């Protein structure tokens, strides 16, 4: 009898809908943790076909890992539609690998640049109907990225030869799910960000002359609590 009673209580608790006080408010708050990979989208120039790059076989992009931490302000504008402001501090790394015909350890040369930024994403969140303690959602919006990298790190980026600008604007799209717990709501999200601006900072060095334009893209996983 005790076993049956315990099993019945467990079934009721699992089927019980947890309350989320933020769901009934116009404005609610939270915080987020994120990890991402960032890569470059180079557009090659005519200079890359000339004699100056005759020893360069290939140029490939890497996808270094970065992370971010920030806050959430959520505005409920309709039953299934929210507007979200999610300012965060982020750390981005970019990498290009130059493969040359040089017959030594320098046959592959990496050009690196890393930035510390303040990101201000504004997005729409369209939610499905809640089923029990979970629901799905999709998001779309834009992010303004503001470079706050220190002077020393900027000098090190220039020494590596990959002279990029940390300021950027991206278009974002993503999807995720809301999970309702007794004391909070947990919302993991996968987001893709496509850079809209040219982040080349200078074309006056040997590496930069190979490109007409340099875009960016970021794939991130974000854990949001509110």
Which of 22-31, 139-148, 197-206: highest mean pLDDT?
A: 139-148
Q: Torsion angle, CA of 226/90/125/14, rounded to 10 degrees?
A: -40
Q: Helix or strand or coil: residue 9? A: helix
What pLDDT was estimated at residue 54? 75
In angstroms, rounded to a whole number, what is the distance separating the alpha carbons of residues 134 and 124? 19
Q: Helix or strand or coil: residue 19? A: coil
pLDDT bin (cut points 50, 70, 90) of residue 51 is: confident
Instruction: Collect all residues with Cβ–Cβ distance below 8 Å to 67 and sequence separation of at least 6.
Output: 33, 34, 35, 36, 90, 91
Contact between 139 and 89 (Cβ < 8 Å): no
pTM of the model: 0.85
In angstroms, rounded to a whole number, what is the distance separating the alpha carbons of residues 145 and 23? 29
**pLDDT tens profile 114-149:** 999 999 999 999 999 999 899 999 999 999 999 998
In angstroms, rounded to a whole number, what is the distance separating the alpha carbons of residues 215 and 122? 20
Residue 19 has pLDDT above 90, yes or no: no
């Amino acid at each position: 009898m005790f076993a049956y009673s315990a099993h019945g209580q467990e079934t009721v608790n699992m089927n019980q809908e947890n309350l989320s006080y933020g769901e009934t408010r116009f404005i609610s708050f939270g915080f987020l943790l994120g990890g991402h990979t960032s890569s470059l989208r180079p557009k090659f120039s005519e200079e890359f076909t000339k004699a100056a790059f005759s020893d360069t076989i290939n140029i490939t992009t890497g996808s270094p890992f970065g992370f971010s931490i920030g806050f959430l302000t959520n505005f409920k504008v309709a039953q299934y539609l929210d507007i979200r402001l999610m300012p965060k501090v982020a750390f981005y790394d970019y990498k290009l690998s130059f493969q040359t015909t040089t017959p030594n350890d320098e046959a592959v040369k990496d050009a690196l640049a890393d930035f510390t930024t303040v990101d201000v994403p504004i997005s729409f969140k369209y939610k499905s109907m809640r089923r029990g303690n979970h629901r799905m959602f999709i998001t779309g919006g834009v992010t303004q990225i503001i470079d706050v990298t220190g002077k020393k790190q900027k000098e090190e980026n220039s020494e590596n030869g990959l002279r990029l600008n940390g300021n950027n604007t991206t278009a974002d799209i993503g999807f995720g799910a809301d999970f309702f717990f007794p004391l909070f709501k947990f919302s993991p999200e996968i987001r893709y960000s496509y850079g809209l601006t040219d982040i080349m900072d200078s074309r006056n060095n040997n590496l930069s002359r190979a490109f007409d334009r340099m875009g960016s893209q970021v794939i991130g996983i974000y854990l949001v609590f509110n």
